[in-house]
Amino acid sequence: MADKAYITPNVLKWARESARMSEESAAARASVTVDKLKEWEDGSSQPTINQAQILAKAYKRPFALFFLPEIPRDFQPLQDFRKKDSKELTTSSVFIIREIQQKQAWISDVYSENGEHSLPFVGRFSIKDNPKIVAQDILKTLNINPPNYKTDAPIKEWIDAAEKNGIFVSRTSFIHSRLKLDSDEIQGFAISDRYAPFVFVNSEDWNAPQLFTLVHEIAHIWIAATGISNAIEPEIKNGDKVHPIELFCNEVAANALMPEDIILNLNLNIFQNSKEVFRIAKTLGVSSYALLVRVKNLDLISISAYQKLKKEADIEYQDYLKRELEKKAKQKDKKGGPNYFLLQLNRNSRLFTQTVLDAFRGGYIEPTVASNLLNVQVNKFPKLEAQLYR
């Protein structure tokens, strides 16, 4: 007979509920009935050690946690800046938020204990300030000058500049193959911290909306507004559904990615042709929609012209997505899918990965700690590290 795990029932129940997992889903993971799971959660029976370990893995909690005498203090929920009608956060979102919170708490403690200087731009402004001024300060601090990007990948330049200045940037679209992130549910979030600010971007979107999300979340750091977002895009009118902080950060992102002086110097004839709009938008690293909203808000085109171009741009964008999907499918056939270690590098953040690997190589942290922080087995660290220099 298998050994029983004499877990604390209410801790087991809390672990499931905090993972936003239904009784049916959890029971299926442990290959038992819902009634049996309920017995474990009310204490009338106990799971086996193997069953409890399976649930610990499913809930992404340490196995030892189930044996605590009472429910532990967990990370505080991030403030929810999402649209009023947003659906409840699901397991995937809960897991990625918790994962980044753990990473952020660890690195912040390390930096503060080592006497690192706090970052002067965190909370430098507030929502009462002019978003244009905030955008200019972001560009100056990160040393970015749109649209004069050095490559055809503006998002990479923004990420590199952010991490060079101490902002950790994480990007992924999934926890694992069965748990994917929904951009309608969560596009990104920011954890504002004087020592180790963290930004997360849901990479389910294409690069243009991802870049807008990234800069939006960076704006959250500049006003010290920790929270979750899912209404990240330029808006002409939508103030009744969008949180004031989100509207402000959208404005900051629009001003940073499409500076007013650059837009005002554009030849207005390009706004007669959706293909030209798409071309200019691509040089700026934004979507045609974002550019059209920006020029409309600057009163450079009429509402009728905006509506006409937006309709045409939507068709152009769908064609573009189709071409990108076909291109990715061909690349996948040739390469056999994305590189696992590159995916983990982006998920962890390059800066965070390098910091953890340095601490591990220097003997400052245990191998198990490093492995848990990076989601990679210790013997695979060389393959992960190799991606840092590509």
Cβ contact 9:40 at 8 Å: yes
**Residues whose CB falls within 8 Å of the CB of residue 84, separated by 6 or more in sequence, listed in order:** 241
Phi, psi of 17 (to 5 degrees): -65, -35
Place of tokens 């087991």: 12
Predicted local distance difference test score (pLDDT) of residue 174: 87
Predicted local distance difference test score (pLDDT) of residue 205: 78
Q: Which residue has the higher pLDDT, 306 or 223?
A: 223
Task: Please state which of the ranges 85-89, 204-208, 274-278, 315-319 shows the lowest mean pLDDT.
Answer: 315-319
Burial of 264 (0-12, 13-18, 19+ CB in 10 A): exposed
Place of tokens 């550019």: 291
**Residues whose CB falls within 8 Å of the CB of residue 190, separated by 6 or more in sequence, listed in order:** 197, 198, 199, 200, 217, 218, 220, 221, 225, 226, 227, 229
User: For residue range 238-270, what is the model confidence (pLDDT) as tens digits?
Assistant: 556 789 999 999 999 999 999 999 999 998 888
| Residue range 282-288: mean pLDDT, rounded | 92
Whole-angstrom Cα distance, residue 46 to residue 44? 7
Amino acid at 289: Y
Length of the chain: 390
| Residue range 295-310: mean pLDDT, rounded | 90
User: For residue range 94-117, what is the model confidence (pLDDT) as tens digits?
Assistant: 999 999 999 999 999 999 999 999
Structure token pair of residue 303: 């509402």
Predicted local distance difference test score (pLDDT) of residue 321: 74
Whole-angstrom Cα distance, residue 122 to residue 50? 45
Predicted local distance difference test score (pLDDT) of residue 76: 85
Please give the CATH topology (third level) of the domain spanning 9-67. 434 Repressor (Amino-terminal Domain) (1.10.260)
Q: Is 166 left (phi over 0), alpha (psi -120 to 50) or beta?
A: left
Average pLDDT value for the chain:
91
Predicted local distance difference test score (pLDDT) of residue 362: 94
User: For residue range 303-354, what is the model confidence (pLDDT) as tens digits?
Assistant: 999 999 888 888 877 887 788 777 766 766 566 667 899 999 999 999 999 9
Could you give the angle at which helices 274-284 and 288-297 cross, rounded to 10 degrees? 100
Q: Quick check: 237 pLDDT over 90? A: no
Q: List alpha helices for 83-167, DSSP H.
A: 91-113, 131-142, 154-164
Structure token pair of residue 347: 């998920």
Percent of the chain with pLDDT over 90: 72
Q: Which residue has the higher pLDDT, 222 or 305?
A: 222
**First and final C-alpha spacing in the chain:** 52
Predicted local distance difference test score (pLDDT) of residue 278: 87
pTM of the entire structure?
Answer: 0.89
Whole-angstrom Cα distance, residue 258 to residue 172? 25
Q: Quick check: 125 pLDDT over 90? A: yes
Predicted local distance difference test score (pLDDT) of residue 332: 61
Q: Quick check: 236 pLDDT over 80? A: no
Place of tokens 């068709």: 315
Structure token pair of residue 277: 């709009």
Place of tokens 């330049």: 157
Predicted local distance difference test score (pLDDT) of residue 230: 85
Cβ contact 199:190 at 8 Å: yes
Burial of 350 (0-12, 13-18, 19+ CB in 10 A): middle
Whether the bond between 77 and the residue before it is cis, its omega within 30 degrees of 0, is no
Q: Quick check: 163 pLDDT over 90? A: yes
Predicted local distance difference test score (pLDDT) of residue 328: 67
Query: CATH 1.10.260.40 spans which residues of the chain?
Result: 9-67
Cross-strand partners of 191: 198
Predicted local distance difference test score (pLDDT) of residue 58: 94
